[in-house]
Homo-oligomer: A and B are copies of this chain.
Amino acid sequence: MKIITVSREFASGGRELGKRLSDLLGFDYYDREIITAIAENKGLQEKYVEDVLENHGWRAFPLTYHSSMVGVSAVSSISAGLLIEQKKVIEQIAALGKDFVIVGRSADVVLQKYKPFNIFVCADMDSKIKRCLERASEDEQLTAREAEKKIKMIDKNRSRTREIISGSKWGERGTYHLTVNTTGWNIKDLSRATADFANAWFEKSK
């Protein structure tokens, strides 16, 4: 079974890259599907699940989640429960035994034993602000400055969640097999180049 995990800075184009990789390689694709599954399993609204996981997850991790984890003082039982459910859902996906790409959710940590190919996607701040403004909904009306603030806040939460779950650092080079900077690329071209690189990895790992 071949697994690619995509971790990414907010608004770096990582989600699009992940989706395109799955299309190019013929792999299944998981992203929001995981939120949907958690919401269904727990009888909660998707929006609520997403909000807890994205914004409060880092405060919420139980001490028993991962052996390397230490010193989490603020545990909220609601978000802890959701993070455990998320882990369960990701493990169920892997149990299907089919090749897949998964975006976000610290999946590289959860799936460690399956030896996934782990990609981190980044971009420079200007490109991220541009992408953030382009995809903002009509009623959001962000200024560039607000977009930058939003990007930094979301990445800070991702970073904290990651460190609590895994003990390893979010976005740090040694944690991933490949770190790609989307700045200057068309994501379509970059996806093709990244798919070739991933294929070479799977080829030599046979």
A interface residues, Cβ below 8 angstroms from B:
120, 122-124, 171, 173-174, 176-181, 183-186, 189-190, 192-194, 196-197, 200-201, 203-205
Q: Chain B residue with minimal CB distance to A201? A: B193
Pick the contact of A173: B120, B190, B203 (CB < 8 A): B120
Q: List 18 A-B contacts (CB under 8 A).
A: A120-B179, A124-B174, A171-B173, A174-B181, A176-B179, A176-B181, A178-B178, A178-B180, A179-B179, A184-B205, A185-B201, A185-B204, A189-B204, A193-B196, A193-B197, A193-B200, A193-B201, A196-B200
Q: Which of B122, B185, B196 meets A196, CB within 8 Å? A: B196
A190 to B176, CA, bound (A): 15
**Cα distance, A174 to B125, chains bound together (Å):** 9
Residue in A179, A180, A192, A200 whose Cβ sees the most chain B Cβ within 10 Å: A179
**Interchain residue pairs A-B with the least CB separation, the first 6:** A179-B179, A193-B200, A122-B173, A189-B204, A193-B197, A173-B179
Contacts of A123 on B, CB cut-off 8 Å?
174
Min CB distance A86 to B, Å, is 25
Q: Give the nearest-CB partner of A180 in chain B.
A: B178
Write the nearest CB–CB distance from A198 to chain B, whole angstroms: 9
- Closest residue of chain B to A186 (Cβ to Cβ) is B204
